[in-house]
């Protein structure tokens, strides 16, 4: 029989169930896992992320009984209170039924970690049980704290693990996303709960509410983008939001945001040059890197960046595109930079079905997004991602030694590798097809086929194509730093 605790804590506005369990467990001197057992939320050692999304009536009743709360207060601990205005937490999203595991791995529903504001944790430290982890910090489009006018943090300053995350196990395999990481640990709610090894390894324990290095101040563009996205996610489903000059439902607006964010991240920093986004983020060239390789964030390749600064750059650019007087032309130009063979193309085709009429009209015109090509097809075709940032006339046919460091790490034919990298740099800086880029460098029609054949043969060996995919970007970054 479920019995009430001798004492409890009052829920804070905007608090999610995992943060509440931390506070209450700390107040009564127990572990969150023990409290979850008492509420019949688990029979093992894991707490399912489904409780982050919604509770059944029976689960809400049990939590209410044990924690001395009204069932309505228990339901308020979930993200379901934002549905149907915030469509990603619905049972059906983008036309597909989704489980809580799908949600946890998607990256656009909620994050597998939690961003946080150290100042907010400090401000609420006086509450019974400790500070409050706000629900908005788990939403992928939340990257700043409007109350303290600062970008959120996301890593523990001591161990560098993402906050409120299981991170990776000692064997480097993905750990399942949990409602509360390390639920058997008795720690202060503001302490980092990450442990790099097994269950016997002590947790990091660093206090996240202590002073952290100063983060960059959000620009006016960042603040406007954050306000726009937060308002759309919290609005009623029948409220209209402007997208590319047309009023649409908030759900459709968020679908547009997801699609355009994919386009911007796939074409960065060309999108930066076309739209001139927020100053501090210009020219970073790495806006989309964490979104695809960082398992702390999500397994979905189009998940937004984990780093709040990169997320601010991305979403500020997306909102600026929405507000651009010729948004259709700009979006079409960016789409033309995405190669036909890019892995982002299938995702674009799936997302288009759920977007606004204005965005669908742009994406449906295949003539606008078809990329011209000449010569033998390349592995990983090179998009023009460095327009206005890299001067094609400054790129030599034979790359200088100070540029070639990233290439020297690859076991490829050195002369062919450097010649191919030079061709790709011109493509990145100008948008020319491969033959025209080679002609610009003075590489004749007799040399280009042999170079292409050598590089294609090398790239077809296991692991080589993937290793070479990022090398031209690193060479471009060096060229820009050296004043190309």
DSSP string, 264-329: HHHHTTHHHHHH---GGGTT---TTHHHHH-TTT-SSTTPPPSSHHHHHHHHHHHHHHHH-TTHHH
pLDDT of residue 272: 72
Residue 294 has pLDDT above 50, yes or no: no
Q: Assess whether 112 and 81 both reside in one domain.
A: yes
- Please check whether residues 67 and 203 belong to one and the same domain: yes
Query: Are 285 and 269 spatial neighbours (Cβ–Cβ below 8 Å)?
Result: yes
Average pLDDT over the chain reads 81
Whether residue 383 is contained in a domain is answered as: no
The most confident of 275-284, 312-321, 362-371, by mean pLDDT: 312-321
Q: Are 11 and 154 members of one domain?
A: yes
SS3 state at 232:
helix
What's the CA gap between 155 and 206, in Å, rounded?
A: 11
Q: Rounded to whole angstroms, how far apart are CA atoms 143 and 313?
A: 10
pLDDT tier at 372 (50, 70, 90 boundaries)?
very low
Name residues whose C-beta falls within 8 Å of residue 297's C-beta, 6 or more positions apart in sequence: 107, 111, 112, 113, 162, 290, 291, 303, 304, 305, 306
Tokens 């029948």, located at residue: 238
Which of 111-115, 128-132, 161-165, 460-464 has the weakest average pLDDT?
A: 460-464
Residues 183 and 265 placed together within one structural domain of the fold: no
pLDDT in tens, 333-361: 788 777 766 666 777 878 888 888 888 88
Q: Which two tokens stand for residue 30?
A: 């127990």
- Residue 402 and residue 362 share a domain: no
Q: Which two tokens stand for residue 72?
A: 């309505």
Q: Are residues 31 and 112 both part of a single domain?
A: yes
**At a CB cut-off of 8 Å and minimum separation 6, what does 150 contact?**
117, 119, 144, 215, 217, 218
Confidence of residue 480 (pLDDT cuts 50, 70, 90): confident
pLDDT given for residue 423 in this prediction? 92
Q: Domain range spanning residue 159?
A: 1-215
Q: Looking at the structure, do residues 286 and 239 belong to the same domain, yes or no?
A: yes
Which two tokens mark 13?
């506005």
Instruction: Tell me how crowded residue 29 is: count the other CB atoms within 10 A of its CB.
Output: 7
Q: Are residues 23 and 66 in the same domain?
A: yes
Residue 251: is it exposed, middle or buried by C-beta count within 10 angstroms (0-12/13-18/19+)? buried
Q: Where is average pLDDT lowest: 39-48, 156-165, 208-217?
A: 208-217
Beta bridge partners of 91: none
Most confident of 268-282, 342-356, 430-444, 466-480: 430-444
CA distance 453 to 378: 10
pLDDT tens readout for residues 31-79 = 999 999 999 988 777 788 889 888 999 999 999 999 999 999 999 999 9
Is 228 found in the same domain as 199? Answer: no
Q: What is the mean pLDDT of residues 184-205?
A: 83
SS3 67: helix
User: Which of 215, 236, 264 corresponds to the end of one domain?
Assistant: 215
Better-scored residue on pLDDT, 285 or 187: 187
pLDDT band per the 50, 70, 90 thresholds, residue 278: very low
Task: Pick the closest to residue 441 from 383, 404, 406, 395 (CA basis).
Answer: 395
- Residue 340 forms beta bridges with which residues? none
Q: Within 13 A of 146's CA, how many CA atoms are on the CB side? A: 13
Does the structure show a pLDDT above 70 at 212? Answer: no
Question: Quick one: 201 and 235 in the same domain?
Answer: no
Provide the pLDDT for residue 341: 63
d(CA 421, CA 400): 12
- Tell me the pLDDT band of 131, cut-offs 50, 70 and 90: very high
Q: What token pair was written down for 196?
A: 């790099």
Q: For position 276, what pLDDT does the model report?
A: 57
pLDDT band at 473 (very low <50, low <70, confident <90, very high): confident
Confidence of residue 203 (pLDDT cuts 50, 70, 90): confident
User: Residue 155: inside a domain, yes or no?
Assistant: yes
Please indicate, yes or no, if residue 385 is contained in any of the structural domains. Answer: no
Which of 85, 109, 93 is closest to 354 using CA atoms? 93
Query: Residue 382 falls within a domain, yes or no?
Result: no
Query: Stretch 200-218: mean pLDDT, rounded?
Result: 80
Q: What percent of the chain has pLDDT over 70?
A: 85
- Note whether residue 198 is domain-resident: yes
Question: Which range is least confidently modeled, 50-64, 125-139, 217-231, 368-382?
Answer: 368-382
Total of domains in the chain: 3
Answer with the one of 147, 182, 215 that is the final residue of a domain.
215
Looking at the chain, the whole-number percentage of residues with pLDDT higher than 90 is 29
Q: Is residue 397 part of a domain?
A: yes
Q: How many CB atoms lie within 10 A of CB 384?
A: 20
- The predicted pLDDT at position 201 comes to 76
pLDDT reading at 284 higher than 90: no
Q: Above 60 in pLDDT, residue 89? A: yes
Cis peptide before 35 (omega within 30 of 0): no
Of the residues 170, 196, 215, the one at which a domain ends: 215
3-state secondary structure of 164: coil
Q: How confident is the model at residue 367 (pLDDT cuts 50, 70, 90)?
A: very low
Shared-domain flag, residues 401 and 360: no
- pLDDT exceeds cutoff 80 at 164: yes
Confidence bin at 138 (pLDDT 50/70/90): very high
User: What average pLDDT does the segment 209-230 reach?
Assistant: 85
pLDDT of amino acid 252: 87
User: Residues with Cβ < 8 Å from 281, sequence gap 6 or more?
Assistant: 272, 287, 309, 310, 312, 313, 316, 317
Residue 456 CA to residue 450 CA, distance in Å, equals 10
Same domain, 413 and 286: no
DSSP category for residue 177: P
Residue 233 lies in a domain: yes
Between 329 and 367, residue with greater pLDDT: 329
């Amino acid at each position: 029989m479920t019995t009430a605790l001798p004492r409890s804590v009052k829920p804070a506005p905007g608090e999610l169930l995992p943060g509440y369990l931390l506070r209450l467990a700390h107040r009564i001197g127990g572990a969150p896992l023990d409290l979850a057992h008492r509420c019949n939320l688990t029979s093992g050692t894991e707490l399912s992320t489904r409780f982050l999304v919604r509770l059944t009536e029976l689960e809400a009743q049990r939590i209410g009984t044990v924690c001395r709360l009204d069932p309505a207060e228990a339901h308020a601990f979930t993200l379901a209170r934002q549905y149907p205005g915030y469509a990603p937490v619905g049972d059906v999203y983008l036309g597909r039924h989704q489980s809580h595991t799908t949600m946890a791995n998607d990256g656009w529903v909620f994050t597998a970690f939690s961003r946080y504001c150290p100042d907010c944790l400090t401000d609420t430290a006086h509450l019974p049980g400790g500070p409050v982890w706000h629900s908005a910090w788990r939403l992928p489009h939340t990257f700043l704290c409007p109350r303290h006018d600062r970008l959120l943090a996301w890593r523990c300053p001591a161990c560098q693990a993402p906050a409120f995350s299981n991170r990776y196990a000692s064997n480097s395999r993905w750990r399942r996303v949990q409602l509360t990481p390390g639920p058997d640990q008795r720690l202060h709610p503001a302490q980092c709960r990450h442990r790099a090894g097994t269950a016997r390894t002590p947790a990091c324990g660093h206090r996240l509410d202590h002073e952290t290095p100063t983060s960059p101040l959000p620009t006016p563009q960042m603040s406007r983008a954050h306000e726009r996205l937060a308002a759309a996610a919290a609005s009623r489903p029948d409220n209209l939001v402007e997208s590319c000059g047309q009023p649409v439902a908030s759900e459709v607006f968020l679908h547009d945001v997801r699609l355009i964010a994919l386009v911007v991240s796939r074409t960065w920093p060309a999108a930066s040059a076309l739209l001139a986004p927020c100053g501090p983020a210009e020219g970073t060239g790495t806006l989309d890197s964490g979104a695809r390789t960082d398992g702390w964030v999500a397994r979905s390749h189009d998940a937004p960046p984990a780093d709040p600064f990169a997320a601010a750059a991305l979403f500020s650019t997306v909102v600026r595109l929405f507000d651009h007087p010729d948004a259709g032309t700009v979006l079409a130009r960016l789409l033309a930079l995405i190669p036909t063979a890019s892995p982002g193309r299938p995702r674009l085709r799936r997302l288009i079905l759920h977007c606004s009429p204005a965005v669908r009209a742009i994406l449906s015109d295949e003539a606008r997004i078809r990329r011209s090509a000449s010569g033998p097809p390349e592995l990983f075709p090179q998009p023009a991602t460095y327009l206005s940032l890299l001067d094609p006339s400054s790129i030599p046919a034979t790359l200088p030694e100070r540029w070639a460091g990233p290439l020297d790490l690859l076991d490829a034919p050195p002369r062919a590798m450097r010649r191919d990298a030079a061709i790709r740099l011109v493509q990145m800086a100008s948008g020319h097809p491969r033959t025209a880029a080679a002609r610009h460098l003075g590489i004749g029609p007799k040399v280009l086929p042999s170079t292409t054949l050598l590089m294609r043969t090398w790239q077809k060996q296991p692991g080589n194509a993937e290793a070479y995919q990022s090398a031209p970007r690193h060479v471009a970054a060096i060229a820009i730093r050296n004043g190309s």
